[in-house]
Chain A
């Protein structure tokens, strides 16, 4: 059905028992933005909501989607998975949005997933995660493991690193990621010298750093989250450990966090992401300029922000290909839809609703920005279940 003819898209929803209430009869179409605007995750998620808003404003200024202006309904998940689920339901059932852009933690995504599936709506989720998941109602626009962690391991191996020490926060993502890293290490002759988890929010790393120092590994793989990074890197630097001798590769410190950790404590250390503010593409120059113009010259852009910005454009391109705002039509049209994102061209893989992404290893410089030292050259096909890796057999 062609949208904009005054009917309701629910008429075409096939194979779903839930009725969508998206109203396509007006000049505007509603979409939802659902992030933690308060609570512990606000530090990261507010900037992501800002990036979503930036894309919407640009699309509206350029004439909208299928002739309709976008209207954002902003909701606060309050860093609480239960609230995320409730607000998702509200956005879908009472605000009748065409799609929702949101979430950060795996816990928030896992809480929202059943709502999007039972109410048959769409979630665009913009953050790297531990993989081993897919849903026809979620588009995963952040990296899955084979687009971030595995390239980082490949990079270390190529640099001649033969042993690793794993340090992470004690919850889902680091433990799952480390299971995958250990399987990779076993298959590639890399020795795991140790594995330590700190409780979330933990701020005393003297014992862990002591263990790391005596283990003398080739590199440290860091999956710590949030404030723990501050304490960890301070202790690391104070204990006399240097990036030149034992580099730390982090998967959750982006430009925004470097300031809080203190650049003098992390300069020279490595990160693995798909996007940095310094990525040299015309699309990124335009993105960075527009973001700074809207939110302040000293505000950095980061990987999840770029993925959120890209999500809105991917949705727009899919809607235009489908010529419809209906969920079923978007799901049908999604395969192969691509967008020239700031990180490079990304393309939706219709079979698992993830997107192709270019992997980048970056080095943190004293100016607080991260510069690419290696990239995969071309976008990597998403493989959330690691089907193409023999060593990953048996991981669940």
Chain B
């Protein structure tokens, strides 16, 4: 029982981390179709933002909350710069964006190494997040609970923004039919930049959360990049609902398989399940229903 609850929780917590890492990608990759290999480095930017903010504000509790907002801004600005500087010229060349953003990712990694040094930096978790709570006989780290709450909050915020705000309507319009949206007076340029801003900002928020469990080092983002792409593909491109379900499914599957086997075997099995699933359902869990002919 103890083990079951422990692993259930581990799975949900891993799922929330995957969800945070993939949420931004569900916008930039899922909705806009840009294969952004620098997404991992935007996550890393969030980690280092937290480190810098913590150096400036020594109260760690305040610093973490401030970092969530500053991180979103930093990630967003990096994303907007990438979109305006490079990606805007290659919307019809997905393979080129893959290579270009991969290069940008490497540049960002080296830049961080030059500025902060190669060794991992220590981000101190606030005291109200140290230790764990005992739930149903098992100790659950408070940091993990925080990350789950954050993931849920991020999903609700993003869904609300897409559903109710004028920007959200513009984003959905451009995704579903770019030329028709433009004919109706929507500026697709501005919408593209805004979408990238939000998607990359969310990546950095994931990075802020990751400082609580992982290492703040130049390569941290790479550990999550592939998983984030998998989650978006399984969920169905452009589907937040799908992204949520896929993230938790992968998290739970991974944690239960890993408990009875090993971490390496768990990764392999998750990959096999993903491949089989995509054979049966290449479009992912959900698809966008549009009236466009494209």
Contact = CB atoms under 8 A, between A and B. Distances in A.
Contacts of B7: 207, 210
Interface of A: 40, 42-43, 46, 170, 196-199, 201-204, 206-208, 210-211, 213-214, 227, 230-231, 234-235, 237-240, 256-257, 259-264
Interface of B: 2-3, 6-7, 10, 13-14, 17, 113, 117-125, 130-132, 139, 141-144, 210, 212-215, 217, 219-220, 222-223, 255, 258-259, 262-264, 266-267
A197 B131 contact: no
A150 to B, nearest CB: 26
A231 B213 contact: yes
A264 B7 CA distance: 26
A203 B132 contact: no
Given A203-B210, A207-B10, 16 more contacts: A43-B117, A43-B118, A170-B264, A196-B263, A199-B267, A202-B223, A204-B17, A206-B255, A207-B7, A207-B263, A208-B263, A211-B259, A227-B215, A234-B212, A240-B139, A261-B122
Contacts of A46: 118
Contacts of A196: 262-263
A198 B3 contact: no
9 contacts: A46-B118, A204-B214, A206-B141, A206-B255, A235-B213, A240-B131, A256-B119, A257-B120, A261-B122
A199 B10 contact: no
Contacts of B267: 199
Nearest to B121: A260
A260 B10 contact: no
Contacts of A264: 124
B104 to A, nearest CB: 18
A76 to B, nearest CB: 13
Contacts of B214: 203-204, 227, 230-231, 234
B253 to A, nearest CB: 12
Contacts of A210: 3, 6-7, 10, 259
Contacts of A211: 259
A231 B215 contact: yes
A204 B213 contact: yes
A290 to B, nearest CB: 22
A259 B122 contact: yes
B141 A238 contact: yes
Contacts of A201: 219, 222-223
A40 B13 CA distance: 28
Contacts of B144: 206, 238
Contacts of B215: 203, 227, 230-231, 260-261
B139 A260 contact: no
A36 to B, nearest CB: 10
Of A197, A202, A234, A239, which is in contact with the most chain B CB atoms at under 10 Å from its CB?
Answer: A234
Nearest to B259: A207
Contacts of A234: 125, 143, 212-214
